[in-house]
Amino acid sequence: MTTTPIAPYTYSASFAAFDRAARVIPAGVPGHLGPSEGCFIPNGAFPRFSSRAEGSRFWDVDGNEYIDYMCGYGPNVLGYRDRDVDAAAAAQARVEDVVTLPSTVMVDLAELLVETVASADWAFFAKNGGDTTTLAVMTARAHTRRKKVVFVEGYYHGVAPWTQKLDYPGVLEEDVANNLDVPWNDLIALEAMFERHAGEIAAFISTPYFHGNFLDNVLPAPGYWQGVRDLCDRHGVVLIMDDVRAGWRLDLAGSDHHYGIKADLICFCKAIGNGYNLSALCGREQFKESVASLTYTGSYWMSAVPFAASIATITKLKEIDAPALFRAQGRKVTDGLVAAAAGHGLTLVASGEPALFYLRLADDDSLLLHQAWVAECVQRGLWITSHHNHFLNASLTDADIDRTLEVADEAFRLVAARHG
């Protein structure tokens, strides 16, 4: 391809805003949206604040425009400011939101989830994905009267102390005393763990496939989930699917259904409301009373506006068969990126499901070449990130994908020239 070089963006307004932020907010921008954890892009190569968003794009505070493959780290599934979702939310807001009694829109959404998600006989609503993983583990403990939880190495299930590691600040040995780890896709290790701790394990918690950070993502091996389901049944272990990240992008009936099983409990957040603040734990009938027995509530958990937004989101995802769209568009993006890299003598590895593709430039073990390529993309309006899976949204057009590949090509050219 021969194109005019694309001039890189500058970020003076972003950096000025970040200076203000750093004075009054710990770390300036905390968590996975901050400069330290979220991006691993060379400092100075990416902006810090957005000013508006629409469809597949957002604009930073310097007015630079991005085709966005992070989608707010997942919530943007239909496109930013989707008209149908926003209209449903606004209509609900004109009536009521957080009130002393809930709105029946909560029941409408629970019924829609039960109708849509294969493993859902009921739904419980909260705010964070982590509210639902914690509720799932507490439910499993109440149900089994056992303590231990088996995780897959490299897991992320939120930020509650029990989901963290002992060497993280503020975490106690008591917080993680009942955590056991097994490798992904390893039924032999899982069975050995279940046998070693027979009668002690309350739950196995896992994402539907391995989409951890800093590592190529890995799909379930043939028969893996069926094997997990069988082992859980034989050992009386509650199978918790953390579908916070992949949910609503692989399969509207749940990612457990997508891979051929029924989880006992399934956690949703992010894409469930196209950005409106909502999470949900769904599960099978035999766990309903255990959930009801717990003390578990929050100030905004009956907030009606996100329920209305979620109904509109799920309805539209069904109408457009969003998972099929994401598979097709995701393959176009990753096939195009891999080919563009090859055109410059580089090897780009795309892993995971196309709807949530993960990228790695394989020509340099240090990660620096990959980060440099991402930086060149971001500075030219293609928002990807270094060592985290990406997310598709339904408003991404073929023209967006063409532009994506143009920018990526230019960025490959630049780093290939430097890589030598």
Residues 384 to 403: which contact its own copies by CB under 8 A?
Answer: none
**Options 219-227, 251-259, 284-292, 410-418: segment touching its own copies (CB under 8 A):** 284-292
Q: Which is nearer to its own copies, 131 or 256 (CB)?
A: 131
Q: Among residues 6, 8, 15, 102, which is the contact residue for its own copies, using CB under 8 A?
A: 102
Site string for its own copies, 296-335 (x = CB under 8 A): xxxxxxxx--x-----------------------------
Q: Produce one character per residue of 64-85: b if its CB has 16 or more CB atoms within 10 Å, e if not.
A: bebbbbbbbbbbbbbbbebeeb
Residue 100 identity: T
Sign of CA dihedral 154, 157, 162, 168: positive
Shortest separation between residue 80's beta carbon and its own copies, angstroms? 7
Distances in Å between the alpha carbon of 271 and those of 75, 167, 378, 388? 4, 31, 23, 17
* 33 touches its own copies by CB under 8 A: yes
* 25 touches its own copies by CB under 8 A: yes
Shortest separation between residue 170's beta carbon and its own copies, angstroms? 3
**Options 287-295, 313-321, 325-333, 399-407: segment touching its own copies (CB under 8 A):** 287-295
Closest CA to 395 of 116, 66, 81: 81
Q: Which is nearer to its own copies, 109 or 369 (CB)?
A: 109
Q: Among residues 67, 269, 341, 355, which is the contact residue for its own copies, using CB under 8 A?
A: 269
Tell me which residues in 80-99 interact with its own copies (CB under 8 A): 80-81, 86, 89-90, 93-99
Shortest separation between residue 409's beta carbon and its own copies, angstroms? 22
Tell me which residues in 187-246 interact with its own copies (CB under 8 A): 244
Q: Among residues 73, 187, 213, 226, which is the contact residue for its own copies, using CB under 8 A?
A: 73
**Options 139-147, 215-223, 226-234, 343-351: segment touching its own copies (CB under 8 A):** 139-147
Dist. CA 418–CA 54, nearest whole Å: 35
Q: Which is nearer to its own copies, 19 or 321 (CB)?
A: 19
Q: For residue 143, what are its two tokens?
A: 């149900």
Q: Which is nearer to its own copies, 156 or 225 (CB)?
A: 156
Q: Among residues 41, 53, 241, 346, which is the contact residue for its own copies, using CB under 8 A?
A: 53
Tell me which residues in 364-383 interact with its own copies (CB under 8 A): 383
User: Radius of gyration over alpha carbons of the chain, in Å?
Assistant: 22
Q: Among residues 55, 56, 79, 141, which is the contact residue for its own copies, using CB under 8 A?
A: 141
Paired sense of beta strands 50-54 and 57-60, if any: antiparallel
* 15 touches its own copies by CB under 8 A: no
Dist. CA 88–CA 208, nearest whole Å: 30
Shortest separation between residue 82's beta carbon and its own copies, angstroms? 11
Under 8 Å between Cβ of 395 and 82: yes
Closest CA to 117 of 284, 321, 325: 284
Dist. CA 312–CA 315, nearest whole Å: 5
Distance between the two ends of the chain, CA-based, in angstroms? 19
Q: Among residues 56, 133, 139, 329, which is the contact residue for its own copies, using CB under 8 A?
A: 139
CB within 8 Å of 233: residues ≥ 6 apart: none
- By the 10 Å C-beta count (0-12 exposed, 13-18 middle, 19+ buried), 289 is classed as exposed
* 159 touches its own copies by CB under 8 A: yes
Size of the site for its own copies (CB under 8 A): 113
Under 8 Å between Cβ of 291 and 361: no
